[in-house]
Amino acid sequence: MLRLLLRAWPPRPAARPPASVRPIRGPPLPTAADPAMEPSEAAAAEPSAGQNGARCSELDGEAPESTDYANYFCTYSFIYHQKDMLEDHKRTGSYFNAVMRNRGAFEGRVVLDVGTGSGILAIFAARAGARKVYAVEATSMAKFARELAIGNKCEDVIEVIQGTIETVTLPEKVDIIISEWMGYFLLRESMLDSVLVARDKFLKPDGALYPSHARMYFSPIESPGASAWQGEYQGAMEGWHSFLHAMSSLYDVDLGCLTNEFNKEQADYYLQTAQWTDVHPAQMLGPPVCFKEYDLLTVTLEELKKPVSAAFTLDVVAGGPVEALAGFFDVEFRGSPTNPADHPVRLSTAPDMAGSTHWGQLSFFIHPPIDCGQGDKLRCRVCITRKQENHRLMNVSLHCDVLDPSDMPTGVPSRDLTFQIE
């Protein structure tokens, strides 16, 4: 009976809904107008800002560097990807509320929208009474943002500028910077770098950022995804051995010397890559813990680029096994000390009975799961670093010790876990 009571945190539905799980190997989107194009072709397919006379503004900057365009920016030049984000109404609605409920902060002000995409945030700012909105977009989506500004009768206020924010020059300082920069687990994509560049170049000393604060969380969960991905890995290795047999039988070629490398390749993907999930609150074995917080007005670019290192303790209220740690974030729109929001707004990507945002949660599946009793604790250390070969992706290392309710070791071996966020 005690176990049933403890496992009732949080309250569970009569029938637990399964978690939906899909891999994330970067956004599942094409890289050019032809989805079959290689990244090098995709980079060549994107016109530079201002090419062929197609300038959006006299303030246009430079196009992204070709490799960074192929790896990252090209995704955002497709209308259907913009649609995917716009129809995430938790996301879009939070930004709408943050602007419209705080019209006083925007009225008569100069606003900079970094990475405007479709231009939706610029339109919100214009409708809230902004005097001028500079909407900066690195990709050819800028031309569609300009069309939307005209179509929504905001062209007298919104000036769409095509180019990277790092290469753009504005004729004046701005009162507010608004941007939807967050990636999976907050930091994937490293777009916050560009927001801080914009802040340091263009924001007035008493200016505000929307959002103004961000926090990162972990929570212990149970998940059918752990065994599912383990099964996928085992299936991949069984298929490999069948392949070896076929190659030997048909062609008398022994490919067995590649087995170790193939195994590593498959293990990296199936067992050590954080996966996009829609976690139901019923899967949570204990409350989430915030392990990192950013004040976007004060954090420096140098601090942001350093590894994220933190120690934290997770209470496993419901007992284990702990099959994964779910990672997610929230952001808050508080304005600034000199221009505070009258009505602060919070956008959370935590597990929700109503379903996830498009960010979902990242599940870091643990193979094998960690055995925890009711009331045990996971004492953890995390280190998050950027990948050397692509600074927009992440490596994550975790060290976990199991403690009993009196903070004594339980005898369960410590675990050192490594993951990648791709």
- Give the pair of three-digit tokens for residue 144: 């569609």
User: Minimal CA–CA distance to 264: which of 241, 242, 236, 231?
Assistant: 236
Enumerate residues 6+ apart whose C-beta is below 8 A from 170.
59, 112, 134, 201, 202
Q: Which residue of the set 137, 189, 323, 332 is catalytic?
A: 189
How far is 118 from 143, CA to CA, in rounded Å?
A: 9
Separation of first and last alpha carbons in the chain: 43
CB 322 within 8 A of CB 220: yes
- Give the pair of three-digit tokens for residue 320: 């284990």
Helical H segments across 271-310, by residue range: 301-305
Tell me, yes or no, if 155 is annotated catalytic: no
User: Minimal CA–CA distance to 134: which of 102, 98, 109, 152?
Assistant: 109
- Give the pair of three-digit tokens for residue 38: 């290689």
Angle, CA of 413, 417 and 421, to the nearest 5°: 160
Q: Which residue of the set 46, 137, 180, 222 is catalytic?
A: 180
Enumerate residues 6+ apart whose C-beta is below 8 A from 362.
24, 184, 185, 274, 275, 276, 277, 326, 327, 328, 421
- Measured in degrees and rounded to the nearest 5, phi and psi for residue 336 equal -130, 165
Alpha-carbon dihedral angle through residues 346, 352, 358, 363, given to the nearest 10 degrees: 110
Neighbours of 227 (CB within 10 A): 14
Tell me, yes or no, if 180 is annotated catalytic: yes
Residue environment code for 331-340, b if the CB has 16+ CB neighbours within 10 A, otherwise e: bbbbbbeebe
Name the region of 166 (left: φ>0; alpha: ψ -120 to 50; beta: rest).
alpha
* Positions marked catalytic: 180, 189
